[in-house]
A and B are shown apart, each in its own frame.
Chain A
Amino acid sequence: MPPFAAVDVRELIRPLGQLLLFSLGSAVVLSALVLVLALILDQTAVGPHVQARYNVSLATYTLANLPQVVIDGLTIGFVYAAIALGYTMVYGVLEFINFAHSEIFAVGAFVGVEILIGLDRSGILRSASLGMAYAYLTLAIVMGMAAAGALAVTVERVAYRPLRGAPRLVPLISAIGVSFLLQDLIRLVEGLTTGQFNRIMPTFGNFDRRLFLGRFALGDANIALGISVKSIIVITAAVLMLVGLNYLVNATRIGKAIRAVAQDRATASLMGINVNRIISLTFLVGGLLGGAAGVLYALKFSRIDPFVGFFPGLKAFTAAVLGGIGNLTGALLGGIVLGMLETFAGSYLGVFTMGAAGSEYKDIFAFSILILVLVFRPQGLMGQQVGQKA
């Protein structure tokens, strides 16, 4: 193999195609489902109830909201997918769930936000041109990635490597311990330096702008269909991360080594692969992705605190399991499906049940699907189709 192998275009396009397929597929399936449900419920007491509130039939209400719900679902789905990549990378190689990944994500978010807060304090952000605003955001993301990557490698070296070969439960418990330790460490550092629990992403650039894509009349109200610039950034970054990771794993020599270690550690070591280095590298890549996801999360949702990693981490882990843990494409599919399900349930549940069960119960659907998938396909949605692991 020549040292500079030609860029394998197929490996670049394939994940993009999959992304498009998954997004469209889940959007179409879920849309059809809620529309059928709406048409059925229109015949029951729910129809007049909606008519009284919004002056339209339930089917019209559902249809008018649908495009926005799909966009929202995709956005949060890509956030979950970006975090899920970190879980699935590590699982693919070590068959071990790195529960500290949610805190690695949080550290990335904190480093990125603190840098931007610092820049904001010194007045640089306010006077920044649009181009510079993006440059600063990129800087924050890169620094968040670096910190999270370094942390992930350190955690592996300190808390996981000494336990390699121990019963499977042992590193798992160690990971949970590291997770709590890091949470409180962030809290301690923030408490000592800034004395604040909530940290807030400064407002700068045009990230908060919302692009309007259209308008739907709904009774007396108008529903403006739109997507904010920051959502576009989140989606774009997540796609880039996935494509890059996919390329690294499937089309480079390092990727080949990662796959070899994943398949059989002992044999890989006999082939001259430095197993420890490859495992460190896996954690580094997982940490980099987690850190980037953290900064993007802070950009999208403005406010972070030391426990910010917990829920996104849990959801992303679920997404990874749903898609088939250890499988990169699966993590992506899982993230998109979970984000979509959650947003669809959250958006329509209240109206469909006449307000009896509102969007607070949205997780019931996401996790019911997880249980169903695990009962009927324990390996996850994509678990078997692709032979090799990440």
Chain B
Amino acid sequence: MPKTTPSLFSLLAAAGMALTLWAQPVAADSAKSIKIATQSPLSGDQSAIGLDIKRGAELALAQLGKPLADMGITVELAPFDDQANPDTGVANAKRIVSDPAILAVVAHFNSGVHIPSSEVYHASGLANVSPGTTNPKVTDRRYAEVNRIVGRDDVQGVVGADFAVSQGAKSVFIIHDKTAYGQGITEFFKKRAEEKGLKVLGFEGTEEKANFDALLTPVIAGNPDMIYFGGIYPQAAVLFRQARERGYQGICMSDDGFDSADASKIAGQTLIDGKGTYYSTVSGPAAVYPGTAKFIKDFKAKFNAEPQPFAAQGYDSMAICLQAIEHAARANKNELPDRTAVVKAVRELKDFAGITGTFTFNGIGDPTLAQYFILQVKSADPAQWNENTLVQTLSIAPPQ
């Protein structure tokens, strides 16, 4: 591993620089200097995504910082590593809010980390834009500070039902994993399916992970046009495989918990058989966003690497923070705004044109229109998982 030494070196160098900056007297701050923090997993098994959220934000700051600089306000990035761990996220959040120079925070990637950490941002009135957390609870607490630019888990059910209708399905059998996530999605699916006139042959929850024989008896007997599963792939893939083995030929569909190459390892060819297997997700592959071509080019030029999923969302989250701070500063006669003004300015943005979409936040911090993607499994080979075809892109308003 020849890369270890330089990266370690650069890390030390970065630490050294940070220390130098730290050591500089606060006097430099009088020249209107502020910070925007990021929090994402920079270490651990999700660091590939977390690091690129930070890099996306860094790129946005480099490219879009000019209007603020013209006002004499210098903006600095303050990256934090939440390790995808709620405890670390909350501890970092406390450090972030105690730094008065930080006016906004781009965070997090994991809903489980975001929900407790955002309690801290809320308590201190710090504006927060999330590039990737999808749990309904993130915004359902109606905190003025907390926003996100992606869709919600509970809309995926609606997306799935609409997709079923668009494929000409007349009947569906719904199964969920009895978790808040899976059951939540399927309840929305069921409601929408019934509204659209689909025949719901069954609605079942199961914690079973291996033997779906009994559960499949009514499914096979009813021969629905679609089996919808709300939950995670270790259950979903086994269920789909056993359904196919029993001769089911219709559509199999699941949610973004299915988005893992392991699903194809479990179910292999059975995902391709019949009328195919589909899943919905809130984050499409980077290439599907119309505005990302330049971003991908710039990203590669700056970091010499392909952007991971959510890098573009990191860029957009930072762009939104910068724009909001700019608006707040203008309203404050080009002086530094306070945190409350930035919080208000984020919500007041209208049709902000980002690279992954056009964003306006509703009263609770969800984008008024979020994009959802439906992908179809294309190959029985797990290595080809990233080649799954994009079937539909939908823009849907969040539930209020």
Partner-B contacts on A (CB < 8 A): 53-54, 61, 64-65, 68-69, 72, 75-76, 198, 200, 203, 208, 210, 218, 220-224, 226, 228, 297, 300-303, 305, 308, 311-312, 342-348, 350-351, 355, 358-360, 362
**CB contact under 8 A between A200 and B214, given known A210-B246, A226-B247, A360-B206:** no
Whether B205 contacts A360 by the Cβ 8 Å rule is yes
Whether B213 contacts A65 by the Cβ 8 Å rule is no
A65 to B202, CA, bound (A): 16
In whole Å, how far is B8's beta carbon from the nearest beta carbon of chain A? Answer: 22
Whether, in the assembled complex, B211 has its beta carbon less than 8 Å from a beta carbon of chain A, the answer is: yes
Whether B205 contacts A358 by the Cβ 8 Å rule is yes
Q: A72 touches which one: B210, B214, B265 (CB < 8 A)?
A: B214
Whether B238 contacts A301 by the Cβ 8 Å rule is yes
Whether A200 contacts B266 by the Cβ 8 Å rule is yes
Q: A350 touches which one: B209, B218, B247 (CB < 8 A)?
A: B218
For B, the interface residue count at a CB cutoff of 8 angstroms equals 33
Whether B245 contacts A303 by the Cβ 8 Å rule is no
With both beta carbons as reference points, the residue of chain B lying nearest to A339 in the complex is identified as B211
In whole Å, how far is A110's beta carbon from the nearest beta carbon of chain B? Answer: 15
B residues 37-68 with Cβ under 8 Å of A? none
Whether A203 contacts B268 by the Cβ 8 Å rule is yes
* A297 contact set on B, CB distance < 8 A: 210
Whether, in the assembled complex, B234 has its beta carbon less than 8 Å from a beta carbon of chain A, the answer is: yes
Whether, in the assembled complex, B217 has its beta carbon less than 8 Å from a beta carbon of chain A, the answer is: yes
Q: A210 touches which one: B211, B222, B223, B247 (CB < 8 A)?
A: B247
Per-residue CB contact flags for chain B residues 226-266 toward chain A (1 = under 8 Å, else 0) read: 00000000100110010001110000000000000010011
**CB contact under 8 A between A221 and B266, given known A210-B246, A228-B245, A303-B209:** no
With both beta carbons as reference points, the residue of chain B lying nearest to A61 in the complex is identified as B221
Q: B266 touches which one: A54, A302, A312, A360 (CB < 8 A)?
A: A302
A selection of 27 A-B contacts at a CB cut-off of 8 Å is A54-B222, A65-B217, A65-B221, A69-B217, A72-B214, A72-B217, A75-B213, A76-B213, A200-B265, A200-B266, A203-B268, A210-B247, A305-B234, A308-B210, A311-B209, A343-B213, A343-B214, A347-B213, A347-B214, A347-B218, A350-B204, A358-B215, A359-B206, A359-B214, A360-B205, A360-B206, A362-B214
Q: A342 touches which one: B178, B201, B214, B234 (CB < 8 A)?
A: B214
In whole Å, how far is A316's beta carbon from the nearest beta carbon of chain B? Answer: 13
A300 to B213, CA, bound (A): 11
* A360 contact set on B, CB distance < 8 A: 178, 204-207
Whether, in the assembled complex, B181 has its beta carbon less than 8 Å from a beta carbon of chain A, the answer is: no
A54 to B224, CA, bound (A): 11
A54 to B202, CA, bound (A): 12
Per-residue CB contact flags for chain B residues 323-365 toward chain A (1 = under 8 Å, else 0) read: 0000000000000000000000000000000000000000000
A27 to B162, CA, bound (A): 42
In whole Å, how far is A121's beta carbon from the nearest beta carbon of chain B? Answer: 12
For chains A and B in complex, what number of residue pairs have CB atoms within 8 angstroms? 102
Whether B238 contacts A359 by the Cβ 8 Å rule is no
Q: A346 touches which one: B207, B215, B269 (CB < 8 A)?
A: B215
Whether A200 contacts B262 by the Cβ 8 Å rule is yes
A351 to B268, CA, bound (A): 31
Whether B202 contacts A350 by the Cβ 8 Å rule is yes
A153 to B379, CA, bound (A): 45
With both beta carbons as reference points, the residue of chain B lying nearest to A228 in the complex is identified as B245
| A-B contacts besides A53-B222, A221-B221, 20 pairs, CB < 8 Å | A53-B201, A76-B211, A200-B262, A200-B265, A208-B245, A220-B223, A221-B222, A221-B223, A223-B221, A226-B246, A228-B245, A300-B210, A301-B211, A303-B237, A308-B210, A347-B217, A350-B202, A358-B203, A359-B214, A359-B218
A355 to B238, CA, bound (A): 23
A293 to B199, CA, bound (A): 41
* B266 contact set on A, CB distance < 8 A: 198, 200, 302-303
A205 to B252, CA, bound (A): 25
* B178 contact set on A, CB distance < 8 A: 360
**CB contact under 8 A between A346 and B217, given known A200-B262, A358-B203, A360-B205:** yes
A interface, over-half SS: helix
A350 to B200, CA, bound (A): 13
Partner-A contacts on B (CB < 8 A): 178, 199, 201-207, 209-211, 213-215, 217-218, 220-223, 234, 237-238, 241, 245-247, 262, 265-266, 268-269
With both beta carbons as reference points, the residue of chain B lying nearest to A301 in the complex is identified as B210
* B222 contact set on A, CB distance < 8 A: 53-54, 221
In whole Å, how far is A366's beta carbon from the nearest beta carbon of chain B? Answer: 11
Of the candidates A54, A220, A222, A303, the one having the most CB atoms from chain B within 10 angstroms of its own CB is: A303
A355 to B222, CA, bound (A): 13
A223 to B216, CA, bound (A): 11
A55 to B127, CA, bound (A): 57
In whole Å, how far is B259's beta carbon from the nearest beta carbon of chain A? Answer: 15
A65 to B222, CA, bound (A): 11
* B246 contact set on A, CB distance < 8 A: 210, 224, 226
A75 to B216, CA, bound (A): 15
Of the candidates B206, B213, B237, the one having the most CB atoms from chain A within 10 angstroms of its own CB is: B213
In whole Å, how far is B266's beta carbon from the nearest beta carbon of chain A? Answer: 5
* A346 contact set on B, CB distance < 8 A: 213-215, 217
In whole Å, how far is A24's beta carbon from the nearest beta carbon of chain B? Answer: 20
In whole Å, how far is A309's beta carbon from the nearest beta carbon of chain B? Answer: 11
* B205 contact set on A, CB distance < 8 A: 358, 360
Which 8 pairs across A and B sit closest by C-beta, in order of nearness? A346-B214, A301-B210, A221-B223, A347-B217, A72-B213, A358-B204, A359-B215, A343-B214
Whether B217 contacts A198 by the Cβ 8 Å rule is no
A200 to B80, CA, bound (A): 36
In whole Å, how far is B261's beta carbon from the nearest beta carbon of chain A? Answer: 11
* B204 contact set on A, CB distance < 8 A: 350, 358-360
A344 to B213, CA, bound (A): 10
* B206 contact set on A, CB distance < 8 A: 359-360
Q: A303 touches which one: B202, B217, B223, B238 (CB < 8 A)?
A: B238
A80 to B38, CA, bound (A): 52
A210 to B238, CA, bound (A): 16
* B213 contact set on A, CB distance < 8 A: 72, 75-76, 343, 346-347
In whole Å, how far is A211's beta carbon from the nearest beta carbon of chain B? Answer: 11
In whole Å, how far is B213's beta carbon from the nearest beta carbon of chain A? Answer: 4
With both beta carbons as reference points, the residue of chain A lying nearest to B213 in the complex is identified as A72
* B202 contact set on A, CB distance < 8 A: 350, 355, 358
A19 to B237, CA, bound (A): 34
Whether B221 contacts A218 by the Cβ 8 Å rule is yes
With both beta carbons as reference points, the residue of chain A lying nearest to B241 in the complex is identified as A302
A12 to B211, CA, bound (A): 31
* A72 contact set on B, CB distance < 8 A: 213-214, 217
* B207 contact set on A, CB distance < 8 A: 360
Of the candidates B206, B209, B238, the one having the most CB atoms from chain A within 10 angstroms of its own CB is: B209
A303 to B260, CA, bound (A): 15
In whole Å, how far is A27's beta carbon from the nearest beta carbon of chain B? Answer: 15
Whether A198 contacts B262 by the Cβ 8 Å rule is yes
In whole Å, how far is B356's beta carbon from the nearest beta carbon of chain A? Answer: 31
With both beta carbons as reference points, the residue of chain B lying nearest to A195 in the complex is identified as B45
A355 to B247, CA, bound (A): 23
A203 to B269, CA, bound (A): 10
